[in-house]
Amino acid sequence: MSQFLILIYDDENAWMNAAPDVSEQLMQGHMKFGENNAAAVQGGNALQSVTTATTLRPDGAGGFSVTDGPFAETKEALGGYYLVEAADLDEAIALAKQVPVIKGGLEVRPIMVFS
């Protein structure tokens, strides 16, 4: 078995301004994902909006410049993730396909194993 991180990218505006039934559906979708894949899901979280993000970059003088906003400005922002266990990429992709999204998409990344 290997571990994969499923990163959820979505349009924050679509998500924040979603009609109540859409957000309800989204919540239900995540609940169902967790229930159906209890054995595979090792963890996961939703993130607060990118408007709450703070970015740190080395300033080249031994310190950091600290700025408001995400590291990279994109239309679809990283909004949450699941850490899952799967036999292979196909199984991880099958899991990712069950994660609800409104407009965005999902990225599947294998977790690096150090030996």
Partner 1 sequence: MTDDSSEALQAVVQAHRREWGYVLAATVRLTRDIDLAEECVQEAYARALTSWPNDGVPTNPGAWLTTVARRAALDVLRRGTLLRRKLPLLVQDEPEPPASDDDDAGYPDDRLRLICTCCHPALSREAQVALTLRLLCGLSTAEVARAFLVSESTMAARITRAKKKISAARIPYRVPPPAELPERIDAVLDVIHLVFTTGHTAPAGADLVRRDLVERARDLAAMLQTLLPDNTDIAGLRALILLTDARRATRTGADGQLVLLADQDRSQWDSPAISEGAELVRVALRSRPPGRFALQAAIAAVHAEAPSWDATDWGEIVALYDLLVQIWPSPVVALNRAAAVGFACGAEAGLAALAALADEPQLAGYAYLSATRAEFLTRLGRTSEARLAFEEALLLTENDVERTFLAQRLAAL
By CB under 8 A, which span of 44-52, 68-76, 86-94, 95-103 interacts with partner 1? 86-94
Closest approach of partner 1 to the CB of residue 109, in Å: 8
Other beta carbons within 10 angstroms of residue 9's beta carbon come to 18
Helix (H) or strand (E) holding 88: none
Nearest-CA neighbor of 95 among 16, 25, 12, 30? 30
CB 11 within 8 A of CB 102: yes
Nearer to partner 1, 70 or 91 (CB): 91
Residue 37: helix, strand or coil by DSSP? Answer: coil
For partner 1, which residue of 45, 69, 87, 105 counts as binding (CB under 8 A)? 87
| Contact string 18-57 vs partner 1 (x = CB under 8 A) | ----------------------------------------
Binding residues with partner 1: total (CB under 8 A): 13
Is position 90 an interface residue for partner 1 (rule: CB under 8 A)?
yes
- Residue matched to tokens 């599947």: 108
